[in-house]
Amino acid sequence: MNLPILSIVTFLPLAGAVLFIFIGRERENLLRYLALFITIITFIASLYLYFNFNAQTPEPQFVEKSAWIGYGINYHIGIDGISLYLVLLTTFLMPIVLLSSWTYIQSRVKEYLIFMLMLQTGIIGVFVALNLFLFYVFWEAMLIPMYFLIGIWGGRRKIYATVKFVLFTMLGSLLMLVAIFYMYSLFYKATGTYSFNIFDYYRMILNPNVQIWLFLAFALAFAIKVPLFPFHTWLPDAHVEAPTAGSVVLAAVLLKMGTYGFLRFALPLFPDALQKFLPVLAVLCIIGIIYGGLMALIQKDVKSLVAYSSVSHMGLIMLAVFALNIEAVEGAIYQMLNHGLSTGALFLCVGILYERAHTRLIKEFGGVSKQMPVFSAFFLICMLSSVGLPGLNGFVGEVLCLYGVFKTNTLFAILGVTTVILAAAYLLWMFQRVMQGPITNEKVFSFKDLRVREIVYLAPIVVMMFWMGIYPQTFLRKMDVSVTHLLNQVKKKEAIFTKAQKEKETLPPSILMESEKHTEDTEKEEKESR
Amino acid sequence: MTEIFWLIPFIPALSTLILAVFGQKLPKKYVSFQACFAVFASFVISVISLIGLLQAGHEHSTIVKNLFSWIHAGSFKADLSLQLDPLSAVMALVVTGVGFLIHVYSVGYMAEDKGYTRYFTYMNLFTFAMLVLVMASNIVLMFVGWEGVGLCSYLLIGFWFEKHSAANAGKKAFIVNRIGDAAFLLGIFFIFIHIGSGEFRAINEAIGGGEITQSLATLIAILLFVGAVGKSAQIPLYVWLPDAMEGPTPVSALIHAATMVTAGVYMVSRMNILFTFSISAGHIVAVVGAVTAVFAATMALTQNDIKRVLAYSTISQIGYMFIGCGVGAYAAGMFHLYTHAFFKSLLFLAAGSVMHALSGELNMQKMGGLRKYLPLTYPTFLIGAIAIAGIPFLSGFFSKDAILTSAFASGQYFVWGLGIFGAVLTAFYMFRLIFLTFYGKERLEPEAKKHLHESPPVMTIPLVLLAFFSVIAGYVGLPVVFGKKLDFFGRFLEPVIEHAHEVHLTLGTEWMLILISVAVAVTGIYIAWVFYIKNPQTPHNLVARFPGLYKLLYNKYYVDEIYNTLFVNSTIKGSEVVYDHFDLKVIDGAVNGSASATNFFGKVLSYIQTGLIKDYALIFLLGAILLLGYLLF
Amino acid sequence: MIPLSYFLILSIILFVLGAIGFFIKRDLITQFMTVEIMLNAANLAFITFAKSAGSLDGQVIVFFIITVAAAEAAVGLAIILLVYRQKKTIKSEDIKLMKG
């Protein structure tokens, strides 16, 4: 069987969306079931990827490469130990998200589902693209459905929120596009061939001064996405105004695109510039952790509380990425998955509350546990996962991240550890004000506990939380080789730079390293020479 | 015999799982039966393991069972690996033994409560977490248990979560604990970086082999101790424990007297080689313990809530345990932990019995003269009080004496002095409690008096058993005056706890010290008798003469208020200010400002778009002229 | 021979007159006429240069320009007619639909 499985995983949602054109918009339930079916099939297909993933090699797998537009713009996709889990996270969460919006979205259901499916394709495309141009196309492509999702089905300030989100993100992406083209021209000058292939770019050794600008452009685009302080202000607005499903996808997956971008591009392509900016970036991360936590503490709206908690968590993830050792980076990737699950779950819980109360203000709640005991149990587990209680997924990621950071810089780790206290403070206080205490608002008496559908979509997340917390080996072992390879790449290039600095060489804008792995061409050469 | 020891934590775990998923559908009688049985089964296995250990002798006293590799990334490795040795065996016995009695007691105490099943689920979960904590063979797994008991504390303190005060108390406990945990985590990181492994055996070998410096050891020890300060409610992180009395009384007995709060003492004992190596850390532990012992005892003097007195008493007694550990007498500290588990849980359960009899009253000023109505509760309560006061022949005497003697022997006279002073206070406040509750004029509420009744056997039998142990438990660790051979407890712990200091005191000094301790205890009881039986006006007169001092003590030195203002409110207010003025005005302002600026420029530029053909043509022309000019010149 | 520069100067004068006229006149038809003048000025310039260079290219271009002018006149006048039907005015100041 030589199915292009990765393309199937990427484009199945979009293809499914095309089917929608032929079904009338009144048949809402049929549409919902069809969308659910498509996303579940995609998830099962992605499981195939997981089970057939070779964890021994850092090479990308399930690679598909075919010429597209020419001049280096090819259709080139593949996954490795870093992107595998991000793809799985996306395909895992999509059916859950669709289930959660079953009754929440009542108007223009067809368009909504089409946008969600388009969004899924865009997101997966970002994670699997190995051609920089293709990456950029997908990066921009996922903005469009998100724009509509927030802008049409969002809350009171939806237009402001969605325009802010799109323009802010695009600002970064445009600078990144300029950087991409500049690298493209550098590559052409060095080799005479056109290419957007990242593996070709990995081989380039760029002059440090050139690197600085390129790095800044890429870093800005990703920093806005993550979001790093001070580029975070789009996040509270977008998260709060988006419909529940939109918030979940936004928090759980979209934010990871930023961190993924750092890992895949900014780190291996520009290690020297990275070193120069490392102190600044690390400080921004620390500020993000503490600032995000403090802001979360005082929010009056549950959703914006969770949004700011995202800023705090992502700060820790980025800090771990910048620590550049295997414990930290594995911890960071694990935290990415954790954050996806726990924050996604928190948004789902908030959505459940909102569907009943039609308000998200904390003071309108109180004593909900009495009325909704089953929900209370789920909400408690999700909250504890976000707090990082051992036994659940959050702890494993947090401890690896903090340890990795500690290995590199003790002070930053000490500052980062405060998140342990802050997260407990803002989450437990919120839980107390919303769920515990006496019932003060009449409306709470009319809340019904979880329906079967709601349990069906919350339960898998909770199961994963326990699984990831108790037996993380399932996930960690497949990352080892890819992460080590990435770090080695960074270190090798750094070595070249320090050597050049010592010998006071000035490097040309770009030269090429020998590639250590076989490309298709060298393989052919070898075959012919035998 | 010892191969099955690893089951000890997992039986309660299994019980928790069953109760969590199916609990609501199971009959109440079965729920309590399963919960109690699970703990009892663990107790039985603990006993079997203990016998196995005793038989195995000194050389084979540490057995480790690695169940599976849990977290492993790079150099950070933590396995799910359990360890059976004298120290963990003692703790396991205390946790499961006392825990079992408290579970049985709860069957009666919580009988009317709607959350019956939830209660037993949480209690089993706690037992599981506590057992993981004491049986972990590496520090990361211990931390898992550490946080796990913190979680259960949160859930059980806030058990009656519809009450604001209970929910608040639970949250406070968790957050204050977390402050200690942050430090603990940093300690763990330092250990991994410099020693390379979290396994206790590896850590001890590394320290013994001189792989780390004094200063590093001190740093790690202090960080870990801060964690212990949070968990074991010492200064300055003790503020959550008094509030924790919001929870059901059996919870206070189990978690906030016998087991969870003693986890810090266990941890320090487990890391005794580290703490001994770092001399300054030992000093700090002892001093913090001593100061806390006295500080908490002073607050217990004026409380009217019967449970609060016991809470402050617990904080104080744990201070004693830390004194023991701090001066190097870890066995003495552990010994006090062990005896304290019996008499303190007895005191709490007996207090619960009193409250149950009075339909929930906990204000001692509304009690009095109860001893004729509570024929079982009163004597058991009294035994607990005598034990804690340190009267000879009961367990408390042996353990407290061991600690004070070691403190004196190590030359830390200041610590010893505080300990003695604390002993006076302890005897005083305990007997104040006894006299106010069981003697004197009856000051009961009429409603309470109507329903006054002794508790059912399911509650009084555990009381009797605990009283029994409060008397005899001390005899496994007789003071050194009687010869080292009779210190079974200390000898049993030897393989784990290196005897860093031998107690070298003359026989005469030892007897002197014992006499002083006894005299001090008797003095305290006498003063209480004078205050509350002989001259009941004395407290009022004293309060009238020193109103300021009384207010200070009664309001617990205003520490809660200080913390609230200094930390909680300032953080919240500060964050609000930052949010309003920085996040919204500056950062968002920049974003919105750039939008406004763009808008503005757009408007300015739009003046060119007048809609008139002439103007457009003019621009055409000008542009053409410019272009021409550029091309020509 | 009349010097070439005279023709060119005439051409320039015509062009400038046309341009100024375009900006001074207030009604569309007259503005249109000024545009025609400008076109013819260009024509003149082209013919002059064609003659001086001795090639016929310039004259061919003139044909193009005349054709274009004619077509433009037709279309332009049709537009003016329609505008008049809508707005009842041919004063160019009143036609400001594209303002902003």
Q: What is the ipTM of this complex?
A: 0.89
Tens-digit pLDDT profile for residues B569-625: 888 888 888 888 888 888 888 888 888 999 999 999 888 888 888 888 899 999 999
Closest residue in chain B to residue C98, using alpha carbons only: B611
Pull the structure tokens for residue A234: 């789009």
CA-to-CA separations, C96 to B329, B615, C93, in angstroms, rounded: 97, 11, 7
Question: Residue A298 and residue B579: Cβ atoms within 8 Å?
Answer: yes
- Tokens of residue A43, six digits: 């998830």
Taking each helix axis from N to C end, the angle separating A410-435 and B164-195, rounded to the nearest 10 degrees, works out to 160
pLDDT (average), residues B376-393: 90
The β-bridge relationship of strands A73-79 and A61-70 is antiparallel
Cα C17 to its chain centre, rounded Å, is 11
Residues of B in contact with A297 (CB under 8 A): 571-572, 575
Q: Residues B99, B254: contact at Cβ < 8 Å? A: yes
% of chain B at pLDDT higher than 70: 97
Per residue in C40-75, pLDDT tens?
Answer: 999 999 999 998 888 888 899 999 999 999 999 999
**Angle at alpha carbon of residue B281, lines to B276 and B286, rounded to 5°:** 90
- Distance CA(A403)–CA(B185), nearest Å, equals 9
Binding partners of C (≥3 Cβ pairs within 8 A): B
Q: What is the pLDDT of residue B183?
A: 94
The partner residues of A510 in beta bridges, in order of sequence, read A206
Neighbours of B458 (CB within 10 A): 15
**Run of H or E residues at A84:** helix A83-100
Instruction: Locate B624 and state its tokens.
Output: 């053409």
Interchain contact C23–B (C-beta under 8 A): yes
- CB-based contact B313:B299 (threshold 8 Å): no
Residue B392: exposed, middle, or buried by beta-carbon count in 10 A (0-12, 13-18, 19+)? middle
Q: Are A403 and B189 a contacting pair at CB < 8 A?
A: yes
- Closest by CA to B280, choosing from B228, B317, B225, B210, is B225
Question: Do residues A202 and A269 touch, judged by C-beta distance below 8 A?
Answer: yes
What's the CA gap between A163 and B599, in Å, rounded?
Answer: 14
Do A and C touch, counting CB pairs below 8 Å (3 needed)? no
Q: Which chains touch A (3 or more CB pairs under 8 A)?
A: B
Query: Rounded to whole angstroms, how far apart are CA atoms A497 and A211?
Result: 12
Residue carrying structure tokens 């009267």: B391
Q: Using DSSP bridges, classify how beta strands A204-206 and B76-84 pair: parallel, antiparallel or unpaired.
A: unpaired
pLDDT bucket at B63, cuts 50 / 70 / 90 = confident
φ/ψ region of B62 (left if φ > 0, alpha if ψ in -120 to 50, else beta) reads beta
- In order of A91, A348, A464, the CA distances from A468 in angstroms are 17, 19, 6
Give the tens place of pLDDT for each residue, B98-113: 999 999 999 988 888 8
Mean pLDDT, residues B484-504 taken together: 68
Q: What is the DSSP string of A401-465?
A: HHHHHHHH-HHHHHHHHHHHHHHHHHHHHHHHHHHSS---SGGGGG-----HHHHHHHHHHHHHH
CA distance B161 to chain A (A): 5
Chain B, window 408-437: residues with a beta carbon less than 8 angstroms from a chain C beta carbon: none
What are the chain B neighbours of A414 within 8 Å (beta carbons)? 186
Confidence at residue B395, expressed as pLDDT on a 0 to 100 scale? 86
Pair of tokens at residue B51: 């016998």
**HSE (CB half, 13 Å, CA atoms) of C66?**
10
Quick check: B185 contacting A, CB < 8 Å?
A: yes
C95/B contact by beta carbon, under 8 A = yes
Contacting A residues, span 111-170, partner chain B, CB-CB under 8 Å: 164, 167-168
Mean pLDDT for the stretch of residues B149-162: 92
pLDDT tens digit string along B332-376? 899 999 999 999 999 999 999 998 888 888 888 888 888 888 888
- Say if residue B189's pLDDT is above 50: yes
- B613 Cβ contact list (under 8 Å, min separation 6): C31, C92, C95
Q: Please state the rounded mean pLDDT for residues B408-437.
A: 90
Amino acid identity at B23: G
Would you say A91 and A124 are in contact if contact means Cβ atoms under 8 Å apart? yes
In whole angstroms, give the CA distance from residue A118 to residue A279: 38
* Closest CA relative to residue A262, chosen from A235, A240, A284, A237: A284
DSSP state for residue A301 in the 8-state scheme: B
- Residue B476 clears pLDDT 90, i.e. is over it: no
- Cα separation, B191 vs B188, in Å, equals 5
Residue B226 CB neighbour total at 10 angstroms:
23
A417 touches chain B (CB under 8 A): yes
- How far does the CA of residue B162 sit from the closest CA of chain A (Å)? 4
Distance CA B410, CA B499 (A): 13
Quote the pLDDT of residue A390: 92
Residue C83, chain B, CB below 8 Å: the answer is: no
pLDDT of the residue at B222: 94
Cα–chain-centroid distance for residue C82?
21
CA distance B268 to B274: 9
Q: pLDDT at residue B211 above 70?
A: yes
CB contact (8 A) between residue C97 and residue B610:
no
Direct distance between the N- and C-terminal alpha carbons of chain B, in angstroms, rounded to an integer? 104
* Both tokens assigned to B570: 């300032």
Contacts of B126 (CB under 8 A, 6+ apart): B148, B149, B152, B153, B156, B254, B255, B260
Residue with tokens 């771990």: A320
3-state helix, strand, coil in chain C (%, to 5): 80, 0, 15
Which residue in this structure is represented by tokens 């600044």? A280
CB B336 within 8 A of CB B402: yes
Q: Are A352 and A450 in contact (CB under 8 A)?
A: yes
Q: Is A481 on the interface with B (CB under 8 A)?
A: no
Q: Provide the mean pLDDT of chain B.
A: 88
H/E segment holding residue B81: strand B76-84
Q: How far apart are CA A367 and CA A437, in angstroms?
A: 5
As given in the structure block, the two tokens for residue B415 are 């610590």
Q: What rounded mean pLDDT belongs to chain C?
A: 90
A178 touches A266 (CB < 8 A): no
What's the pLDDT at C60? 93
- The answer to whether B609 contacts C100, with C-beta atoms less than 8 Å apart, is yes
Flag whether pLDDT at B500 surpasses 60: no
Structural contact between residues B83 and B62, judged by C-beta atoms closer than 8 angstroms: yes
**pLDDT value of position B503:** 58
Alpha-carbon distance of A126 to B421, in angstroms, equals 70
- DSSP string of B344-357? HHHHHHHHHHHHHH
Which residues sit opposite B69 in a β-bridge?
B79
CA–CA gap between residue B235 and residue B233 (Å, rounded): 7
pLDDT in tens, A237-258: 999 999 998 999 999 999 999 9
In DSSP terms, A498 is beta-bridged to none
| Minimum distance, in Å, between the CA of residue B219 and any CA atom of chain A | 13
Q: Which residues, numbered 588 to 617 in chain B, qualify as contacts with chain A under a Cβ-Cβ cut-off of 8 Å?
A: 588, 591, 595
B453 vs B353: CA distance, rounded Å: 10
Cα–Cα distance measured from residue A326 to residue A324, given in angstroms and rounded to the nearest whole number:
7
How does DSSP classify residue A518? Answer: P
Report the SS3 class of residue A58. Answer: coil
**Which residue do the tokens 């908490």 mark?**
B296
Report whether A103 contacts A355 (CB < 8 A). yes
Inform me whether the pLDDT recorded for B37 exceeds 90. Answer: yes
Per-10-residue mean pLDDT, chain A, length 530: 80 90 83 92 91 83 83 87 91 94 87 93 93 93 93 91 92 93 86 83 79 91 92 91 92 93 89 89 93 92 93 94 91 94 94 90 88 91 94 92 92 91 93 89 84 90 93 86 87 79 59 48 46
Helix (H) and strand (E) counts for chain B? 28, 2
Quote the pLDDT of residue B504. 67
SS percent in chain B: helix, strand, coil, step 5 = 80, 5, 20
Q: What is the nearest CA distance from B110 to chain A, expressed in angstroms?
A: 18
Task: Tell whether C19 lies on the interface with B, counting CB pairs under 8 A.
Answer: yes
Nearest CA in chain B to C97: B611
- The rounded Cα C39 to chain-centroid distance in angstroms is 4
**A 456-475 residues inside an 8 A Cβ radius of B:** 470-473
Query: Looking at the complex, does the CB of residue C88 fall below 8 Å from at least one CB of chain B?
Result: no
Residue type, A216: L
Side-chain half-sphere exposure of B278, counting CA atoms within 13 A = 27
Q: How far apart are CA A454 and CA A460, in angstroms?
A: 11
Are A390 and B576 within 8 A, CB to CB?
A: no
In tens, the pLDDT along C26-46 reads 888 999 999 999 999 999 999
Residue B27 CB neighbours (<10 A): 9
